[in-house]
Chain A
Amino acid sequence: MAADEKASLFELRRAQPAFRGLEAGHLACQGCGQALGARLVTEAAGPDVIVANATGCLEVFTTAWPRTAWRVPWIHSLFENAPAIASGIEAALKAQGRLTKVVAMGGDGGTFDIGLQALSGMLERNHNVLYVCFDNEAYMNTGIQRSSSTPHAAMTTTSPAGKARMGKRHLKKDLLSIIAAHHIPYAATASVAYPSDLRKKVRRGLEIEGAAFLLVHSPCPLGWGHDGALTVEVARLAVETGVFPMLEMERGDVVAVMQIRNVRPVTDYLKLQDRFSHLFDESPEARVELEHLQALADHHIEVYGLRGTSPDPRDSEGADTVRRGGLRWG
Chain B
Amino acid sequence: MEQTLTARALHPVRLTEIRIHGRGGQGNVVAAYILAQAAFEQGRFAQAFPSFGPERRGAPVSSYVRLADRAIQRHCQVRNPDFLIIQSQGLLHVAGLTAGLKPQGGILINSARDLPELEAEAADALESRNVIVLGADALATGILGKPLPNTALLAAFLALTELLPLNALEKALARRFKGETLERNLALVRAAACEVPAGLWREVAHA
A61 at interface (Cβ–Cβ under 8 A)? Answer: yes
Interface of chain B residues 7 through 25 with chain A (CB within 8 A): 24-25
**Number of A-B residue pairs having CB atoms within 8 Å of each other in the complex:** 21
**In angstroms, how far is the closest chain B Cβ from the Cβ of A226?**
11
- Contact A30–B54 (Cβ < 8 Å): no
A221 at interface (Cβ–Cβ under 8 A)? Answer: yes
A75 at interface (Cβ–Cβ under 8 A)? Answer: no
Q: How many residues of B contact A (CB 8 A)?
A: 7
- For A29, list chain B residues within 8 Å (CB): 24-25, 56-59
A118 at interface (Cβ–Cβ under 8 A)? Answer: no
- For A61, list chain B residues within 8 Å (CB): 54, 56
The residue that A141 contacts in the complex, of B54, B57, B58, with Cβ under 8 A, is B54
Question: Closest residue of chain A to B59, judged by CB?
Answer: A27
Docked pose: A141 CA to B58 CA in angstroms: 15
Docked pose: A228 CA to B56 CA in angstroms: 12
**In angstroms, how far is the closest chain A Cβ from the Cβ of B178?**
16
- Contact B25–A222 (Cβ < 8 Å): yes
Docked pose: A27 CA to B56 CA in angstroms: 7
**In angstroms, how far is the closest chain A Cβ from the Cβ of B151?**
20
A272 at interface (Cβ–Cβ under 8 A)? Answer: no
Question: Closest residue of chain B to A31, judged by CB?
Answer: B57
**In angstroms, how far is the closest chain B Cβ from the Cβ of A186?**
34
Docked pose: A228 CA to B57 CA in angstroms: 9
Q: Mark B37-55, 1 if CB is under 8 A from A, else 0.
A: 0000000000000000010
**In angstroms, how far is the closest chain B Cβ from the Cβ of A225?**
11
- For B59, list chain A residues within 8 Å (CB): 27, 29
- Contact A221–B57 (Cβ < 8 Å): yes
A175 at interface (Cβ–Cβ under 8 A)? Answer: no
- For A27, list chain B residues within 8 Å (CB): 54, 56, 59
Chain A to chain B contacts (Cβ below 8 Å), 20 pairs: A27-B54, A27-B56, A27-B59, A28-B56, A29-B24, A29-B25, A29-B56, A29-B57, A29-B58, A29-B59, A30-B57, A30-B58, A60-B54, A61-B54, A61-B56, A141-B54, A221-B57, A222-B57, A228-B57, A228-B58
Please list the residues of chain B having a beta carbon within 8 angstroms of any beta carbon in chain A: 24-25, 54, 56-59
Closest 4 CB pairs of A and B: A29-B57, A30-B58, A29-B56, A222-B57
